[in-house]
Structure 1
Amino acid sequence: MTADDFTLSEHDLAVLCRTFRDDTELDHWLPGGDQYRRRAYQCFHLAMGRLAEDGPGALTAIGQPPPYVQSKQINPVAGDIERSFQLIPPDHPATDPTKRIATAVALLLEANGVLSAARTPHCLVDAHYMRLIAPGHPAPEGKHRDGLIAGSAHLIQRTNIGGGVSAIYDRYQPDRELRSFVLENPLDSYVFDDERVLHYTTTITVTDPAVGAGLRDVLLIGFRERE
């Protein structure tokens, strides 16, 4: 997916850029006290039966979401831990553009049979606002799944960095690379069926230290069944 697949304006992108800059905080869950990642979090309820008619109206922001938990098998770095992150409140300016991004992804997943009103009538949609400061590791877990139904990654900003090559692998043949690419322009995105594939992104490095910090801001969206 590219910017043409989303109904976002330059103002919407500016709002998202400010959110990554001003509203993320240091990720305290990285191993060894690493400090290259900042993040914030938002969670929505998605009523799949309303998606086609209501679009973003089918998503409702949850003001106080439960802690975010992944199993140790899925996430060997921070699995089996009830993690909480800096919250983006429902009335934040970033909520609307984030809902529209999630809606476009949900419609694509529905069209491809990954989500459906019959099988997944109610989903939780996680939005992770992830800022990486080079040098840093977008995927310290290595090749991995997220323990979701499906997910997506959306570039918001890429500044003064090299690396950051993303790749998708066959879940059952992890050495079989299906595709690799670099998210380069705002809203360059990829969507994946988490049941079928693994994903990974290589380390980012600073291109020119004289220019300033190297940054990679990515909005990660995850769809999981609501218990």
Structure 2
Amino acid sequence: MPAGWERLSFGAPLADGLSIQERLRQQGFGLLSAEQVYSMIGESAAASCAAAIPLWSHLPADRYLKDGGRYRSRRHGSFVQQLDVQGSESELIHVPQRAHWQPITYNALHGGMLRWFEPLADELVGLAFWQPLVCQLGHLFAEVRPVEQWFIEAHQFRIDARDGVGRPTPEGAHRDGVDFVAVILMGRNNIRGGETRVFELDGLRGVRFTLTQPCSVLLMDDQRINHESTPIMPLDTQGDSWRDTLVLTFRAEGFLEPVHPATSANSENKD
């Protein structure tokens, strides 16, 4: 984890011992170590996290990159979390596969078009850690901004630097158009770069750091924070070089959908 990660702030370091909820309330972002994540989801669920990591090696290419790059692979899934049935089997509902859509105001590069990605593998969603992780994050965010349900999108990403450079956020500093975002680092291999940067939405101050610990998490209030990650490059050009993340977005007012018919991004690419 970055030095002083529990006290990272846009100004003076935060007081010791602040909860992640209070860090989100005060400044709009905060970090969780892998140990904190494991404690949150429980020992038995945490034990299955290692089984998830190899699944990032089998992601289909993202065919919608407008810069023509080959550096991003991904899968996508959508869920609804009912917070009024805490602890119930029906708390998290995996909804039928749907297109990912963002307005141009949030994603100037890839916004305004329906993008269909391959679904998350049943093997991933069926692992013991999945429901506790997603649901516990949902409850955490609801403590900051009380809601009855979350509409959640899950993005499984691999950024590959085999062509010399890989861009985690080709759209630059941005918001996602949701309430909260969780960026979970699954792993880094043979790379430099991949620095995370978060900025005040209504100010000039920013913070930069690099997530290196697998299963550590960046949490953000998307209504208050812009964020981006810098490009990655290989340390050794003879070896595989990549950065794997799981990005979860939480929105109270339904999934982002086009108000008017959206462009179907190269409909022939829809599988």
TM-score by length of 2: 0.74
1:57, distance to aligned residue in structure 2 (A): 5.0
1:202, distance to aligned residue in structure 2 (A): 0.7
Question: Could you tell me which amino acid in structure 1 is paired with residue 46 of structure 2?
Answer: S
Give the 3 Å change call, closer, same or farther, for CA 57–171 of structure 1 in structure 2. Answer: same
> Alignment partner of 1:38: what SS?
strand
Within 2, Cα distance between the matches of 1:41 and 1:9?
22
1:121, distance to aligned residue in structure 2 (A): 1.8
What RMSD over aligned residues (CA atoms) do the two structures have, in Å?
1.8
1:13–1:156: 8 Å Cα contact kept in structure 2? no
Counting aligned pairs with the same residue, the percent is 25
Higher radius of gyration, 1 or 2: 2
Quote the residue 2:151 is aligned against: 124
Give the 3 Å change call, closer, same or farther, for CA 9–198 of structure 1 in structure 2. Answer: same
The answer to which of 128-137 and 100-109 deviates more is 100-109
Question: Could you tell me which amino acid in structure 2 is paired with residue 65 of structure 1?
Answer: Q
Does 1:176 find its partner at 2:197? no
Quote the residue 2:100 is aligned against: 68
1:158–1:216: 8 Å Cα contact kept in structure 2? yes
1:127-142 to 2 correspondences below 5 Å: 127-134=154-161, 135-142=165-172
1:39, distance to aligned residue in structure 2 (A): 0.2
TM-score by length of 1: 0.87
The answer to which of 96-105 and 152-161 deviates more is 96-105
Runs of 4+ deviating beyond 6 Å = none
CA deviation map 1:151-180 (0-9, x unaligned): 11001111111111101111122x320x22
1:11-30 to 2 correspondences below 5 Å: 12-22=48-58, 24-30=59-65
Unaligned runs of 5+ in 1: none
Give the 3 Å change call, closer, same or farther, for CA 95–222 of structure 1 in structure 2. Answer: farther
> Alignment partner of 2:54: what SS?
helix
Unaligned runs of 5+ in 2: 1-31, 256-271
Question: Could you tell me which amino acid in structure 1 is paired with residue 233 of structure 2?
Answer: T
Which of 135, 152, 162 aligns to 2:182? It is 152
CA deviation map 1:107-148 (0-9, x unaligned): 22123x22x2xxx32221111000000121111111100000
Quote the residue 1:104 is aligned against: 136
> Alignment partner of 1:92: what SS?
helix
